Amino acid sequence: MRHIKQCSDRESEGYEMAKLVINEYQELGKINEEIYGHFAEHLGRCIYEGLYVGEDSPIPNTRGMRNDVVQALKEMKIPVLRWPGGCFADEYHWKDGIGPRENRKKMINTHWGGVVEDNSFGTHEFMELCEQLGCKTYINGNLGSGSVQEMSEWVEYLTFDGVSPMADLRAKNGHEAPWKVDYFGVGNENWGCGGNMTPEHYADEYRRYQTYVRNYHPENPIYKVCGGPNVDDYAWTKGVLETTHRNCLPALHGNMDGLSVHYYVHPEGWETKGSATEFDDAVWYRTLSKALYMEQLIERHGAIMDQYDPEKKIGMIVDEWGCWFTVEPGTNPGFLYQQNTMRDALVAGVTLNLFNKHCDRVKMANIAQMVNVLQAVILTEGEQMILTPTYHVFRMYRNHQNATLLQSHIQTREIGVEEIYPVPDLQESVSRDQEGNITITLNNLSFTEDREVEVIFAELEPEKIQGTILQGEAHAYNTFQEPERVQEEAFTSFTRKGTHITFTMPAHSVLQLRVS
């Protein structure tokens, strides 16, 4: 028989109301806005149809970028966008994507669907998109199949302000002024699709390539990201850092600013992955348990990083994360198109809370991917666009960006199905922005049970509380026929008395409270 399991010590205490204790005087660090970053690869319908439709499209656009998608992303307060990959990055040759579009080279996208890539979306288009979004730029360079010269010239083309062959070429192609590149990844997944390298070999290549990712503007230095491990490959983390630090005094000064980590949630395993919309309670808890595994990855990779970087100057960059399910029936298996339910919303909420609570090490994260691919925040079909439950979570959490993490602790009960993949029933993070507003984001992970919660501040007696909630049947998702089935709603079902706020949180829901 299946049942919801609770810890015996909780039962013996006989309490029903979970207590969330917040010490508003205990500041634990800054939550970088880049933790709420996104990823757009040349994969399926992410770039083409999703973000870029071309200037001649009947779909309303500004210089080829879909107006509806851009506006939705701005409303979500997107801070940074990673491009062009992913696996695509290490087969991408940037010069194929500049100049008149009719003259650009065509290629086969060998990683994703075997379709023709016409390179109509290239460097200029990406920088234009980021300007429209008002977000920072994160470019992934080609180390796997590209040369040092190719990468060096791309950086020069993008950022050099002066007389040089690449600056002149940029001007010839219609953009005289240089752009600002905020982040630059030196290769991607070089343990796999980026070259099948050993950690020591990649690290030596990283040291060589990054030398030529030059900072032409010392006042605006490029943040260099080294290719880190896949999931729990701790040997990769250690091997890369051991090699990059070898004979470097001071260690890695000016060499590495961030180390990436990739982790996807596959509830049914890598081979089968499982359906995005059809699951039972056992698979629900397995999925959330695997999402919570992110904390162990952060802590264990972080412990290795601490050996070489005890001052935490090198950021952990989780630049690919999210749910990866089996593609929707009838779609190209190489396009990785999947639906997005309340289960995805809980995975997003849990993961973002973990990033917040480890903001001393995690400095950027990029969910995969932005539109029409994997755990997308937006889905499109022709002129239509829908916002997924994951989109609403990112929008609800946006006030954490650049806020200060506050100390918090919540009492939880362990739940699950027949002791399989147990998870805590509640999970939270709390921050305060520069205006003094406190944001609480809270997840109820239970498949079936509502939960009473009491928020207790050290001394603050809230004068103003605003809340929003994302809730619905566990399998609920938005479609082009029902685009608003799952969306944020105002939450006012709370009471306050002195330093306490009490409310009941529905099963499988995400809640955000703004308190001042």
| Three-state DSSP class for residue 230 | strand
Give the active site residue among 24, 41, 125, 189: 189
CA–CA separation, 35 vs 398, rounded Å?
10
The torsion angle over the Cα atoms of residues 119, 123, 127 and 133, rounded to 10 degrees, is 30
482 catalytic, yes or no? no
| Peptide linkage before 333 cis (omega within 30 of 0) | no
| Three-state DSSP class for residue 275 | coil
Q: Exposed (0-12), middle (13-18) or buried (19+): which is 49, by Cβ within 10 Å?
A: middle
Give the active site residue among 41, 320, 428, 488: 320
CA–CA separation, 68 vs 72, rounded Å?
6
CA–CA separation, 370 vs 350, rounded Å?
18
Quote the longest CA-to-CA distance of the chain: 75
Taking alpha carbons only, the member of 206, 105, 216, 82 closest to residue 155 is 216
Taking alpha carbons only, the member of 369, 347, 397, 395 closest to residue 140 is 369
Where are the strands (E) in 187-295, listed by range? Answer: 223-226, 258-265
**3-state secondary structure labels for all residues of 354-387:** HHHHCCCCEEEEEEECCECCCCCCEEEECCEEEE
Number of other CB atoms surrounding residue 47 within 10 Å: 26
Residue 30 DSSP one-character state: E
Q: Count how many residues are written for the chain.
A: 516
User: What does the angle CA 479 – CA 59 – CA 62 come to, to the nearest 5 degrees?
Assistant: 120
Residue 70 half-sphere exposure, CB side, CA atoms within 13 Å? 20
CA–CA separation, 337 vs 488, rounded Å?
24
* End-to-end CA separation in angstroms for the chain: 46
The residue type at 202: Y
DSSP 401-437: TTPEEEEEEE---EEEETTEEEEESEEEEEEE-TTS-
CA–CA separation, 501 vs 109, rounded Å?
53
CA–CA separation, 5 vs 11, rounded Å?
10
What are phi and psi for residue 512, nearest 5 degrees? -130, 130
320 catalytic, yes or no? yes
Whether the Cβ atoms of residue 335 and residue 373 lie closer than 8 Å to each other: yes
The structure tokens listed for 366 are: 């990029």
The residues annotated as belonging to the active site are: 189, 320
